[in-house]
Amino acid sequence: MSLSLQFFTMMVMVASGIYLGMAIDTFHRFHNHKKRSDISKYANEILFWILQGLVIFYILYLTNQGQLRLYVWLALLFGIAFYQSVLRVMYLKVLEGMIQYSVATFRFLNRLFQRLVIAPLTKLFKLTTYLLTLFWAVVIWILLIPWKIFRRPLMYVWNKIKSAIPRGWKKNILSFSRFCSRIIDTIIERWKMIFSKRR
Same-domain status, 35 and 78: yes
Same-domain status, 85 and 13: yes
Using the 3D structure, point to which of 87, 119, 151 is the last residue of a domain. Answer: 119
Same-domain status, 109 and 130: no
* Rounded average pLDDT over 32-46: 73
- pLDDT tens by residue, 44-101: 888 988 999 899 888 888 888 777 788 888 999 999 999 999 999 999 999 999 999 9
Same-domain status, 74 and 162: no
Better pLDDT: 80 or 6:
80
Rounded to an integer, what distance in angstroms lies between the CA atom of residue 169 and that of residue 162?
9
> In what helix (H) or strand (E) does residue 173 lie, and over which residues does it extend?
helix 167-198
Same-domain status, 95 and 127: no
Q: Could you list the residue range(s) of the whole structural domain that residue 164 is in?
A: 121-198
Rounded to an integer, what distance in angstroms lies between the CA atom of residue 89 and that of residue 134?
66
Same-domain status, 57 and 72: yes
